[in-house]
Structure 1
Amino acid sequence: MPSGTRSARTLCLGVLASLAGMMPPAQAQTMAQAPAGDAATIAELRRQLEDMRRRLEQLETRSARRPPAVAAVPAPPRPAPAPAPGPGPAPAAEARAARDAAREARTAADQARVAQQDAEQARQAAAAVTAPVQGLDPPEPMGRQNFAGEGGDALRADLPGIAFRVPGAATEVRLYGFAKLTAFTDANGRNQTDAPAPALIPLTGSAADRQGGEFGMGARFSRFGVDTRTLTGWGTLETRIEGDFGGGAPTSPNAVFRLRQAWAELGTPAFRVLVGQANSLWNEGLFETIIDATNLNQSFVRQAQLRITGRLAPGLTGQASLEAPETSYVSGTGLFTPGSSLNNGASPAFNAWPDLLGRLTYADAGWEFGLRGLLRNLRVETAGTAATGGRRDATAWGFAGHVRMPLRILSPAFGSDELVGMAFYGEGIGRYFFGGTGGQDATSNIGLASAGLGLRLDPLPAWGMTAAWRRFWLPPLRSSFAYSYARQDYPGYALEFAPGSTAALSLNRELHQAFANLIWSPFAEARNGSVSTGWLDIGLEYLFTRRDLFGAAAAGGPGGVGHGIANRVLVGAIARF
């Protein structure tokens, strides 16, 4: 073989060898998993390389078939003939062909290298979107384990395509929420709301009671939110924006969006700080229901606040917050908050200081103990309003405690069953127990003859208790049974409220409520002694409510009956994402 051909062949084989060396078996497997466009490019390059290899082999074969040179007896010298025109010697043409093949091989090698780099970058980009951020806690599972009420994060999602990492940043973003449909029918008075507060059910003998029960259905409490978590030098920064469509009238088909939560929290499990609108530290759902009401002795207040959370010991968490206040009082002229109007003027209800709240929670092995307290300032300021009397301040306070007990400590046969008990006492805590009081914190004698003897503002003493049993018949099938009782005590001058007035008919002395439901979660799973309910719940629920007025018949209820009774049956379906 001529030296030029051998050199070109050596160069081509070197390029081919280097290209082949770029693709060991493991790399070939990676290429096989590359996107369809990259795989097609690599296949085309391989085909070109195979064509060049065959061309080199043909050149070698032609060189091998040329007859070998034979030594001859020198002849007498003769004049050299003139060179005949025509193509150059064959070896020169073959060398040029080999050099062209080498250049093509180098070009193919470069293209293959670029394609391989593009495929690797695509693979890394895809991994960056789905891979967790090192140092952030893993996503929480879908569905509920132990019911944690409004304060929990039970609805944070971890489904593929919904939870993702921001490329090039130490941030994870999640979309979460649910679509919910409920339908109900009442056996007593007509109560046109899908979220009835026990304090406001129709009274026996009222116009609504005489009309009878009514059917209703809606989906306005469907919810969605965006949750982000980012690693910083000061710990994890978590933000949340959450809303639903429960801001409009219950009977309107045009649901109105409302903001539920909007906050940011920064820190570590040992200590963190939250600012924004979030669930109050007083909130406690206690047991699972289908209805979206603020039930008796439950609290679902969401408001602006500054909160700190610290880990005091293993399993023990302490929290304190300054939260937005709202003084609420009832008098002979009606029920007032700072946003109300008295005779088309300003409201005497006045906010002077934020509410101070604290909470201790201990949780271990299914047990949970909680203690919460609050301290508030209530104020009536009549200057600049249609009322007279001046200023009056009152101090409000309250405590509540609950315990959650796993029944498996009594017998393994109880599985994931649990008992919950709660009790509270306080003065002026009505806005945190809307279900029992309709929001009343205090009474005042504004508008009464006795106001001439001096303006009064009396925080309402209130106490109550709740007991509930959560029973798992099977992992996909569970029930909650609950009973709640609450009582408010009013000063004697409240009997001077005009009989039949809004003020008189809002004075609930005692309330009772009972729940029973059956919920099916077809995708539920048993996990480490608890049940994860999955993304779909379908349930049937019954609730009984009774309220008795202060002064009973003296309050002037329709027909002289000072109580109301409600029986409701509802069905609901909730699909989380």
Structure 2
Amino acid sequence: MTTTTPFNTRPLARAVALAGAPLMLMAAATATAQDNSELQELRVRVQQLEEKLAGAVSTAPELQEDNTYLLRDGDGIKIGDTTISFGGFIKADAIFGSGGNGSLNSYSIGLPRTFAKAAANGSSDWKTGFSARESRISIGTKTEDVVGHNLTTYIEMDFNQDLNDGFSETGNEIVSNSYSPRLRQAYASWNGWDFGQTYTTFTDLAAMPEILNQGKQAAFIYVTQPMLRYNMAAPGGKLMMALENPEDGYYGNSYDDQSYPDLTARYQIRGNYGFYSVAGVLRNIEDDAADETKVAGAVSLSARIPTIGRDDLRLQYSYGALGRYMGLLTYPDVDLGALAAGEVEPLKTYGATAAYRHFWSPAWRSSLVLSHTEIVDDLEFSPKGTLSYFDSSTSVHANLLWSAHKNLTLGLEYAYWDFGEIATTGSEQYEQVMASAKLSF
């Protein structure tokens, strides 16, 4: 007879349970710790989100019942579909000029012809002038989806009225030093078109040297005027063509109202190797008294070439009937002597500017600028054919600028001018030291 002994599983289960208990406890502890860790992480995320929301609410503008669409949009304020932005700068200048040139606050930054007058007056005195008139205020707008395109506008004013304005209109230095705003730019852009007043298409501001007395070098093209311009894409850059305001006179002594606008064009290339452009202008110069009309033109080449680090070289060369376009009307558009004799003779000139900008550090930089211009044609009634006693001018600028912030620039600049006398080998010299503080907003 076979005897069967039953297998008792309880001792085995107890043994297995006892052996596995530490592992189970460890697993449970691990799961609990993981749950606690995830919970803590979730709490941190919620707290960070609450802080972000609180910050967003505190910095957002409050909605008003009468202006429910007031919202911030980038650097501007959005009202309905239009974003409005404000800008400009305060520029305070101290000018020390040779030849007894105190730079009256009626036009403190001066013109090459006023420098030439100071150079020739025989005075060895240095005079001082202060001004804040180059300060500017600007307003820009952008409206989205205007017939499928963005519509942008820009208007800019400063306080540099013309030196020839009446004394009562330009203010004075006796008590108030008050001056009226002056329109610099006012234009709108839409679907490749520019309408209004801005810098002439005949110049490339990318090549403009960085000097404190901006635009006041001998030969640079620097004009703002009303125009109708079209911009189109071209290989490597863009092509711009414009009809611009015609003018062949000066300070109210216009020869005549012109029959046709100035035609300007510029082909611009911008890439990793710099900025390059070629520009041209075609002008109609006429005089009803002489019953004569002449078509004249000019060309300009410019470049801004990166060199070492952040340094760059800026170049511009211009030739032709440049007249008022170059050097802030250093020369007239026609031979004034020939005009008085009943003939219209466009005055050919040329100008060249070279500037090197060097960064000593991210905050410190300097520019060295050499600029020269000269009359090419022989003046028939010298020196009455031009606006002053000289037929060539040369300027040299050297400065040191400090910008601890993009909105703050302090600088000191030295300028030297040489004016070559007509029909002689002599020349007159002018010097200027300028200290400037520019604070943008």
Partner residue in 1 for 2:327: 434
Number of equivalences: 375
- Residue 281 of structure 1: aligned partner: 201
Structure 2: distance between partners of 1:279 and 1:443: 26
More strand per residue: 1 or 2? 2
CA drift of 1:507 comes to 4.9
Structure 1 counterpart SS, 2:134: coil
Aligned partner of 2:315 in structure 1 is 421
Residue pairs, 1:82-161, within 5 angstroms: 129-132=71-74, 158=75
1:175 to 86, 90, 99: 86
Matched with 2:365 is 478
Query: How do residues 379-528 of structure 1 correspond to structure 2 at under 5 angstroms?
Result: 379-382=286-289, 390-407=290-307, 414-426=308-320, 428-435=321-328, 437-445=329-337, 451=341, 455-495=342-382, 497=384, 506-523=388-405
2:109 paired residue number: 195
| One-letter amino acid matched to 1:542 | Y
Percent sequence identity is: 25
Instruction: Show CA shifts across 1:470-525 (max 9, x none).
Output: 1000000000111111111343422274xxxxx666153211111110100002xx
> What is the Cα deviation at residue 263 of structure 1?
1.1
Q: CA RMSD in A?
A: 3.1
Which residue of structure 2 aligns with residue 544 of structure 1? 416
Richer in helix (by share): 1
**How many Å apart are 1:549 and its aligned residue?**
2.6
CA distance in 2, matches of 1:576, 1:535: 5
User: Is 1:274–1:307's contact at 8 Å kept on the other side of the alignment?
Assistant: yes
Task: Give the match for residue 268 of structure 2.
Answer: 361
The structure with more radius of gyration: 1
The alpha carbon displacement at 1:258 in A equals 0.4
Unaligned runs of 5+ in 1: 1-24, 38-119, 133-157, 329-335, 341-346, 383-389, 408-413, 498-502, 524-533, 554-561
CA change 1:203–1:222 in 2 (3 A) is closer
Secondary structure of the structure 1 residue equivalent to 2:179: coil
Aligned partner (choices 235, 255, 275) of residue 149 of structure 2: 235
**Residues 269-319 of structure 1 deviation map (CA, whole Å, 9 limit, x = unaligned):** xxx101111111123452101114532222221111100011123x41110
Is contact 1:199-1:508 (8 Å) kept?
no
* The one of 257, 281, 302 aligned to 2:224: 302
Paired residue for 1:59?
none
Q: Are 1:173 and 1:229, in contact at CA under 8 Å, matched by a contact in 2?
A: yes
Q: State the alpha-carbon separation in 2 of the partners of residues 30 and 570 from structure 1.
A: 50
User: Shift of residue 404 of structure 1?
Assistant: 1.4
Gaps of 5+ in 2: 1-45, 164-169
SS in 1 for 2:382: helix
Letter in 1 for 2:302: H
Q: Equivalent of 1:373, from 280, 284, 295?
A: 280
What's the TM-score, normalizing by structure 2?
0.77
- The C-alpha deviation readout for 1:404-460, integer Å capped at 9, x for no partner, is 1111xxxxxx3100111221111x22110134x535111144686xx3xxx311111
| Alpha-carbon distance between aligned partners in 2 of 1:279 and 1:425, rounded to the nearest angstrom | 19
Q: Which whole-Å CA distance do the structure 1 matches of 2:87 and 2:326 have between them?
A: 28
Cα distance between partner residues in 1 of 2:315 and 2:190: 33
Partner of 2:179: 255
Contact in 2 for aligned 1:396/1:429 (Cα 8 Å)? no
Counterpart of 1:256 in structure 2: which amino acid?
Answer: S
* 1:33 and 2:54 are equivalent in the alignment: yes
The answer on whether the counterparts of 1:488 and 1:508 sit within 8 Å (CA) in structure 2 is: no
Does the 8 Å CA contact 1:432/1:439 hold for their aligned counterparts?
A: no
Q: Distance in 2 between matches of 1:273 and 1:184?
A: 40
Asked whether the equivalents of residues 198 and 547 of structure 1 are also in contact (C-alpha less than 8 Å), the reply is no
Residue 33 of structure 1 and its aligned partner are, at CA, apart by 3.1
Task: Kindly indicate whether the alpha-carbon contact (under 8 Å) linking 2:339 and 2:345 is maintained by their aligned counterparts in 1.
Answer: no
Secondary structure of the equivalent of 1:210? coil
Residue 564 to residue 349, structure 1, CA distance change in 2 (3 Å):
farther
- Superposition deviation, residue 129 in structure 1: 1.2
